[in-house]
Every structure is written in structure tokens, then in C-alpha cells.
């Protein structure tokens, strides 16, 4: 994908602020710092929401702790921003701590996203919980 120039970025920011995203949420969306895959992941799990958006989580787990996590998101800005936050929140946490992550924890970091985008947070957390469950049950698959 081509990098956005400053003008494009300003336009995107304005658009998203107009639709109810906080500056912080927009920065998460634009930076996409946890977007991608981990070639040596211990767990790879994916989930598609009713809206059709899809997330795929890659987790590196060591001694019950999430050492690293990345996520691929085919979805809206709300989905991307939520997913970036969630990866930040679970890195370095134990699986048990990550299991207790609430939608509200993600929302608090985002500060504000449009009401109709709350389900993007839910999809993020559901994908994460599915990945943890599959890891613990030995389902799903590993990265190559
Ligand atoms: Fe589907 Fe945002 S519209 S996750």
C-alpha cells in the first residue's frame, strides 16, 4: 500500500473526527503499529464478524505469557484502531490476564469511537478470546 502524504492524512483525520473518532483512536488507526503477522507464532486464530470484517491474530506464547502479538485486520477504521489497542494491552500479559480483558478496557484507551462502531471493539475481543481458547485447547494452527 502506498504511504499517505500529509494532505491525505489530514483529510482522513478530519473525516474521522467528523464521524466521532478521538484523535487518539485515529492515531492508532493511521499508525497500524501492531498490524501484520508473526512467522513463528504459537497460535494463529481468525474470526469474521457479522459485518464481514475479518481479524487474524498471531500470538507468541512463552510460559503462559503473551510475548508478542500481531493482528491482520480486513476491516473498518474502528476495527483497525481497536485491534491495535488490544495487541498493546495483551503484550507481556499472562493468558489469564488477557482472558479478563474487557471491551471497556479497549474503549478507554481509544477514548472515543462512533456508537455504531462499538461492535468493532467486540469483534476484536472475541477474536482474542477465541485465540486464547484455541491455544489452550491445542486447536487452531501455528505460524510457519
Ligand atoms: Fe465490522 Fe467495524 S464494521 S468491525
Q: How many CA atoms lie within 13 A of 43 on its CB side?
A: 28
What residue owns the CA closest to ligand 1's atom 2? 120
Cell matching residue 20: 466521532
What is the SS3 assignment for 30? Answer: helix
pLDDT given for residue 139 in this prediction: 73
Q: Convert the pLDDT of each residue in 26-78 to its tens digit.
A: 999 999 999 999 999 999 999 999 999 999 999 999 999 999 999 999 999 99
List the chain domain ranges.
6-137
Q: Which atom of ligand 1 is nearest to the CA of 49?
A: 1
> Ligand 1 mean position to 63 CA, how many Å?
33
Q: Is the pTM of this model over 0.85?
A: yes
Q: How many CA atoms lie within 13 A of 134 on its CB side?
A: 20
User: Which residues on adjacent β-strands are paired with residue 55?
Assistant: 47, 73
pLDDT given for residue 3 in this prediction: 74
Closest-CA residue to 91 (of 108, 71, 75, 117): 71
Question: To the nearest whole percent, how much of the chain has pLDDT over 70?
Answer: 97
Check: CATH 3.90.1010.10 for 6-137? yes
Catalytic residue numbers, as ranges: 51, 120
Residue 55 backbone dihedrals phi, psi, to 5 degrees? -125, 145
Amino acid at each position: 500500500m502506498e504511504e499517505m502524504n500529509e494532505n491525505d492524512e489530514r483529510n482522513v483525520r478530519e473525516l474521522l473526527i467528523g464521524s466521532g473518532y478521538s484523535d487518539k483512536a485515529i492515531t492508532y488507526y493511521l499508525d497500524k503499529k501492531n498490524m501484520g503477522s508473526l512467522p513463528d507464532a504459537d497460535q494463529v486464530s481468525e474470526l469474521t464478524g457479522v459485518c464481514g470484517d475479518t481479524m487474524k491474530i498471531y500470538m507468541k506464547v512463552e510460559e503462559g505469557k503473551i510475548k508478542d502479538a500481531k493482528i491482520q485486520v480486513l476491516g473498518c477504521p474502528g476495527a483497525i484502531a481497536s485491534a491495535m489497542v488490544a495487541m498493546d494491552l495483551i503484550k507481556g500479559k499472562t493468558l489469564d490476564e488477557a482472558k479478563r480483558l474487557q471491551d471497556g478496557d479497549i474503549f478507554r484507551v481509544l477514548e472515543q469511537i462512533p456508537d455504531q462502531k462499538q461492535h468493532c471493539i467486540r469483534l476484536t475481543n472475541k477474536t482474542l478470546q477465541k485465540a486464547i481458547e484455541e491455544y489452550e485447547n491445542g486447536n487452531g494452527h501455528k505460524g510457519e
